[in-house]
Amino acid sequence: MNSMLNRFLWKYKSFPITISLICLCILVYAMSFVWFGEEMNALEGLYFGGFNPVYIQLSHEYYRLLSANFIHFGILHLAVNCYSLYGLGLFIEKSLGLKKYLILILVSALTTTGLPYLFYLITGYGANVVSGGISGVIFGLIGALGALALRYKYIYMDIFKQLVPNIILMLIISFIIPSISLSGHLAGLIGGFVCTYILLMIKHQKHLIH
């Protein structure tokens, strides 16, 4: 028991943001489990802070742009996302450092819901959508890895190439299964890539100045 606790504390000290995100997702799911049981339907997800553009527009419930990232509709949904976040998040957190990684997480979370919301405002598409989950942020991490691979080809390109088949599969699944938000995944991917590329450019400019 002590060894497990010590291992957890070591992981937390080494990767505080990723471990905190996973713990937050588990805590939020535990709360939804108490209220609604093992799985939530769309209405329950909406009540619990899920993303819906109409509620944001008409009721000004802008907190949904962030809260939706941390709700999960079932134990499998939670487990898959936490596993993916753990595997990729530790690597990206170590590569970028705490400050840049935190910015990346926030931008990925907000673009995951923010870009689909803007798309709804322009086109009216997605009015009946209720979505949630940390998978958009995970796609943001994939986008971040893409930016790292583009800037530092000899270090990250091989790792990114190994992930490409999985990325394509995840996007196909997002397209085929209606309950998975393809727009959220693509938005997170774009947000993560653009955010990381800008952060790396700023870092490069600072090195040139110094």
Question: What are the tens digits of pLDDT across the range 171-203?
Answer: 666 655 555 677 888 999 999 999 999 999 987
**pLDDT over threshold 60, residue 208:** no
Model confidence at 26, in pLDDT bands (50, 70, 90)?
very high
Confidence of residue 160 (pLDDT cuts 50, 70, 90): confident
Please report the pLDDT score of residue 157 as a whole number: 81
Whole-number pLDDT of residue 54: 95
Residue 191 or residue 42, greater confidence: 191
CATH code for residues 2-209? 1.20.1540.10
Least confident segment among 6-15, 94-103, 119-128: 6-15
Q: What share of the chain has pLDDT > 70, as a percent?
A: 90
pLDDT band at 1 (very low <50, low <70, confident <90, very high): low
Average per-residue pLDDT in the chain?
Answer: 88
Among 182, 190, 174, 179, CA closest to 141: 190
Find, among 75, 72, 68, 90, the residue nearest to 187 by Cα: 68
Q: What is the mean pLDDT of residues 87-105?
A: 94
Phi and psi at 73, nearest 5°, equal -90, -5
pLDDT of 184 reads 87
Instruction: Specify the pTM.
Output: 0.90
Adjacent-strand bridge partners of 51: 131
Q: Is 110 exposed, middle or buried (0-12, 13-18, 19+ CB in 10 A)?
A: buried
pLDDT of residue 108: 97
Of 64-73, 81-90, 154-163, give the lowest mean pLDDT range: 154-163
